[in-house]
Amino acid sequence: MESKDVLLNIGISSISGYMSGRYASKQNINTTLSASYIIYIDGTTIKAVNGTTGVVDFSGSDAATVINNAIGNLSSGGNVFIFAGTYNITSSISPGYPNSSRRNNIWLYGAGDATILILSPGASINLNLVDNIKISNLYIDCSNHTTINSDYGIVTVDANNINIDKVTVYNAYGFGICITASTTAKNITVQNCILNGTGNQDVIGGGCNVPSAILSDIIYKNNFVTQSTSIGHTYNVAIDNVKTYRTQIINNSVYGGIVLGNENFPNTYTEIIGNLVKPALNQTPGFISVWTSSNATTNAKYISIRDNIIQGGHIEILGIPSQYTLFSEINNNIIDASFDTLAINVQYGNLINIIGNLITSGGIEVPNSSDISIRNNQISNSTNGINLYSSPTIYATENTFKNVTNPFVGLGGSNVTIKNNIGYVTENSGSSTGTGAQQTVAHGLAITPTRQQIALTAGSATALPFHSAAPDATNIYVTAALNQAWYWATVGT
């Protein structure tokens, strides 16, 4: 018997009629026709119809038990479709439950937002030690959850090749989606999801707290993630990963923070690209943060943060004195720092590029950092523009300042190059007439010149005999020995 006939047998007169939820599509219909099991509600009974035989293999009043039994019967894998309806899930749904019947190669999916799973405290979709699992087209309601660190919408533990697609997780009290590894986990994708937290814990989060564990190749893309405070809580981090390798956080709309927290073990090879980051719903700033904890023993490195839009917040890369963050970039972001007054902060960083950012209502700071290139940024409407904190080996060139009170602050570090910036003149030249008397010439630089040249012709290396007093913040002072025109040039740094 084909699955189409099964659907007709359970009282569905139109194959497309049941696909009323978000993400309903022809693809949903076609894949349902080939489902290994179809889960549906018949009065007060949950039934699992075998998609091949048309026989109800499992039934009962507990939805999780029926679904797990159906999954457990697929020893070689298969597809389990959960029909539109509201299912009270009193215990976890899991291809890994019970452990003796752990199943790989499972696709668990529903009719979009029309398939509603209401989770009881402690219940989740639990992907423990399984491989090749897809979860899609489900609405998961976590409103009954009460425990921050043990209640999840979906949790993966040492799982590989996981795809979570077109899933809504509503009112996550703890983690909405938690991805963890105590040994090895890789190739995990969360995409096209709507995820809502209640201000207690990360909406998407996880990582490794074990030195030998490896969590790698993680992708979060095209998700809508909100950190709410509807019940008065104030936690504002929406996405948070610890010790992950090759992570991509791409094209998400996020209300809250994106954090790559070290917690002993840093993240490496990470891209945070094209995200729209807004304040959490409690109006704390939206932000992106890559930080290293005080007891870390290795460096965070190869971090690329680019092409994001930050509303009201900032971007930061924070190393520690013993473990600088290395080989990273903050490029081509649009940052409104009106909540923070600081747009970009790189602390204890080395070999970092800060290039092409458009910033308003905040500045750039690089305390305790070195080998930093700050180029082609536009900064407006800020008290401070770029604060170097006397850090060494800084290259600050071709930046533009508009309505910035102090374009550069914290000069004084060694090997600092500041030139060709708009709104902060560090190079100038002009001409005057030698009369034998001291002449005072305004040099027009933003700072006291460190070098000056006086010559007979513009650009000439032939020095004019002259006497000169030391320049100050406003003028150069020259007494010419010849009564003829002479030329000057000054450099600030």
Structure tokens at 360: 């308003």
- Mean pLDDT of each 10-residue bin along the chain, 493 residues long: 50 40 47 82 95 94 95 93 97 75 90 96 94 97 90 94 97 91 94 91 84 90 85 75 90 93 75 94 82 82 96 93 94 94 95 98 96 98 95 95 94 89 79 66 72 61 59 76 62 66
Q: Any long-range contacts for 384-388 (C-beta under 8 Å, 24+ apart)? A: 384/409, 385/409, 385/423, 385/424, 387/363, 388/412, 388/413, 388/416
- Please give the backbone phi and psi of residue 308, each rounded to the nearest 5 degrees, phi first: -95, 160
pTM, two decimals, is 0.87
- Answer yes or no: are the C-beta atoms of 82 and 46 closer than 8 Å: no
Q: What is the pLDDT of residue 455?
A: 65
Cα within 13 Å of Cα(406), Cβ side? 12
Cα within 13 Å of Cα(212), Cβ side? 2
Q: What is the pLDDT of residue 25?
A: 46
The residue written with tokens 């750039």 in the block is 364
Give the number of other Cβ atoms within 10 Å of residue 254's Cβ.
29
Structure tokens at 228: 């709410």
User: Could you give the angle at the alpha carbon of 53 between the alpha carbons of 48 and 57, nearest 5°?
Assistant: 30
Beta-ladder partners of 441: 476
Structure tokens at 204: 């998407």
> Cβ neighbours of residue 27 under 8 Å, at least 6 residues apart?
none
Residue 474, CA distances (Å) to 274, 440, 447, 486 in order: 44, 10, 8, 19
User: DSSP of 289-344, one letter per residue?
Assistant: EEE--TT--S--EEEEEES-EEES-EEEEE-BTTB-EEEEEEES-EEE-TTTSEEE
**Backbone CA torsion sign across 77, 83, 84, 89:** negative
Residue 5, CA distances (Å) to 46, 56, 79, 192 in order: 19, 13, 17, 31
> Cβ neighbours of residue 8 under 8 Å, at least 6 residues apart?
none
Nearest C-alpha neighbor of 239 from the set 145, 172, 298: 172
